[in-house]
A = this chain, B = another copy of it.
Amino acid sequence: MKSRLSSSTEDYLKTIYAFTEWQDTPITSSQLATRLGVANSSVSEMVRKLKDMGLVDHRPYGAVHLTEEGLRVALTMVRRHRLLETFLVNDLGYSWDEVHVEAERLEHAVSDLFVERLAARLGNPERDPHGDPIPSASGDIPRIDAHRLSELDPGHEGTITRISDENPEMLRYLAHERIHLDTEVTVVRRKPFGGPLVVRVGQHGAARDFDVPDEVAEAVWVESTREHAGCTVGGS
């Protein structure tokens, strides 16, 4: 059980895991295909192989679940990816919108030794540059208590603790708008039907209002600063 998986295999497992990281319905074949950028038929075939290898559970026409072993591999990949992103930003001066693609290639090439040396050198960080939790070598995930901006009610105050790294263009946009990790936000107005969600960004005098595009509201996660009775209502 040491023989090294193909990088395709690693990508499948990582993608299956990623899908359930921030919500809990399991991924379907076609969603997997879309995320991996391959045809549905490729997924069918690969999922069968992963099942034969004992890395996923799957019954025909059903969703795909990781087995314990599959989860272990996926978490290893996630750890690699996020440590690499941290390294790229901290040590090589990458900006947060540049790191994803680079880490995506590197994560298949690094050894366990490399990863652990890197982690040590970085001070065993628990979060990557986008605020994503970095699983420990043993597979424990730092607890994070954040909610999507899109799910918060007006009046809610908090700090941005995670911004999805999937869309580099959005990250550049947010950087340009001076919105980043640890930025404090207050939800001003919830979008009524199709109108925009508005948040107040920054504190006190320096505060400004910001019209949150839908896509951003899904990508930005906020951790409450003030315990505010019913803070997490998620109207559809």
Contact = CB atoms under 8 A, between A and B. Distances in A.
- Copies of this polypeptide in the complex: 2
Interface string A83-116: 0000010011110001000100110111101100
Interface extent on A, as a size class?
A: 10 to 19
Contacts of A141: none
**Highest count of chain B CB atoms <10 Å: which of A98, A106, A121:** A106
Nearest to A94: B117
Contacts of A111: 102, 105
**Highest count of chain B CB atoms <10 Å: which of A88, A98, A105, A121:** A105
A118 interface: yes
Contact of A105 (B91, B102, B109): B109
Contacts of A110: 102, 105-106
Interface of A: 88, 91-94, 98, 102, 105-106, 108-111, 113-114, 117-118, 121
